[in-house]
Amino acid sequence: MRSTPHILVVNGTKVRRPVFVLGAPHSGADLLARAIKRSPGFHLTTGRPGVLRVTYAFARRPAIATERGKGAARVLRDAYAEAWQISARACAECPAECRELAGLPPVSPAPASPAPGAAGRPDPGEGGPCTEPRGIERFADASPDLLYSADVLLDAFPDAQLVQVIRDGRDAVADMLDDERCLAWFKPGLANLDTVFPNPFLGVEDHTERDRWPRAAPAVKCALRWRGSVRLSARLHHQTPGEQLFTVRYEELVARPRRVAGEVAQYLDAPISSTTLSGLVRAGARDHDEHGVGSWRERLSARQLAQVEKVAGTELRRLGYRLAADA
């Protein structure tokens, strides 16, 4: 049973039906997050330090959330009460990724104080807020690895709406192999398999996988993380009411952005610009074509492909992706 509703007021606005964008690493959730952040009435954040501290604690040690019960929901709610504040001081903690989602340039290093912009408000280009409180009706977050805190999110915000993005695991793994931040979790000092097993965050579920982990290739470790996340997504799908969870297939988003924008807008009961999402898809295809749909064919070696399909083949087939081994 979910906790009773708690009234949270941020910037003078009651937080109602907050939106959380979830997905495996490099699932493409950031593309949808950009569209939501740039939609009228939304204030979307990502990667705020206070939120990351809490969500990674829950992700890497799930027992913390279980043992704390309602206390875990309170801690997460408090983290968002701070993260969603809109002011020059609060937004100074935003990572570069959060400003980039809004289409803003990175903050220049070490300014004395943000230069005032029009009407005396801080200029977003000089490190001020990416938006202003007036007109904000909905709050959202798309922090990385938020998927592992989905249950706590629904306890903290019983009326929350979740949007999860699913992508071909082979493309996701290819991107993960190029991302030093993703690979950093596999370092011996961070891989906490000795204290947390089974380990949903690393995707290690049986003793054979744990024993082989120290010698496993990076592609195997990335495939385990992807497999673990989509298994968690499947459980979330079965346990969450339809009005609180909407699933977007990344390949459909790229191929038909206007249709997906309309479907997401209907689900959220809020305007999501199909033109904005289409423009983001076109820009992504132009700037990152090598990372597009099906790019795993050129980016994964034959050995890496075999490793990924061996680890995650069942999940790939269940999601409708055809394996190279079946061709």
Q: Which two tokens stand for residue 208?
A: 């054979």
Percent of the chain exceeding pLDDT 90 equals 72
Upstream peptide bond of 198 is cis (omega within 30 degrees of 0) = yes
Q: What is the mean pLDDT of residues 254-270?
A: 95
Pairwise CA distance, residues 168 & 235, whole Å: 18
- In the DSSP assignment, the letter for residue 122 is B
Number of H helices, E strands in the chain: 16, 7
Q: What is the mean pLDDT of residues 161-174?
A: 97
Put simply, whether the predicted model's pTM sits higher than 0.85 gets the answer yes
Residue type, 295: S
Q: Which two tokens stand for residue 198?
A: 């089974």
Q: What is the pLDDT of residue 107?
A: 60
- Cα–Cα separations (whole angstroms), residue 43 to 5, 86, 317: 21, 9, 37
* Strand intervals (E) in the chain: 9-10, 13-14, 19-23, 42-45, 138-141, 161-166, 245-249
Pairwise CA distance, residues 116 & 88, whole Å: 10
Q: What is the pLDDT of residue 284?
A: 65
In this structure, are residues 135 and 46 in contact, taking their beta carbons and an 8 Å threshold? no
Pairwise CA distance, residues 101 & 36, whole Å: 9
Identify the residue whose tokens are 């929350």: 160
For residue 89, pLDDT over 80 is answered with no
List domains and CATH numbers for the chain: 9-86+131-326 (3.40.50.300)
Pairwise CA distance, residues 227 & 198, whole Å: 14
Q: What is the pLDDT of residue 113?
A: 36
Q: Write phi, then psi, for 202 (nearest 5 degrees).
A: -90, -10
pLDDT band at 120 (very low <50, low <70, confident <90, very high): very low
Closest CA to 77 of 23, 170, 7: 7
* Interval 3-36: pLDDT, tens: 555 689 998 899 999 999 999 999 999 999 999 9
The alpha carbon of residue 302 and the mean position of all alpha carbons in its chain are separated, in whole angstroms, by: 29
Pairwise CA distance, residues 277 & 109, whole Å: 31
Closest CA to 29 of 249, 178, 214: 249
Q: At 166, is the secondary structure helix, strand, or coil?
A: strand
Q: What is the mean pLDDT of residues 260-265?
A: 95
Average pLDDT score over the chain: 88
Pairwise CA distance, residues 88 & 47, whole Å: 17
For residue 2, pLDDT over 80 is answered with no
Q: Across-strand partners of 9?
A: 14
Residue type, 311: V
Closest CA to 268 of 42, 7, 46, 13: 42
For residue 193, pLDDT over 60 is answered with yes
For residue 78, pLDDT over 70 is answered with yes
For residue 228, pLDDT over 60 is answered with yes
Lowest average pLDDT, out of 81-85, 116-120, 232-236, goes to: 116-120
Q: What is the mean pLDDT of residues 200-206?
A: 96
Q: What is the pLDDT of residue 122?
A: 40
Helix axes 49-60, 70-83, angle to 10 degrees: 150
Q: Which residues contact 75 (CB under 8 A, 6 or more apart)?
A: 54, 68
Q: What is the mean pLDDT of residues 187-212?
A: 95
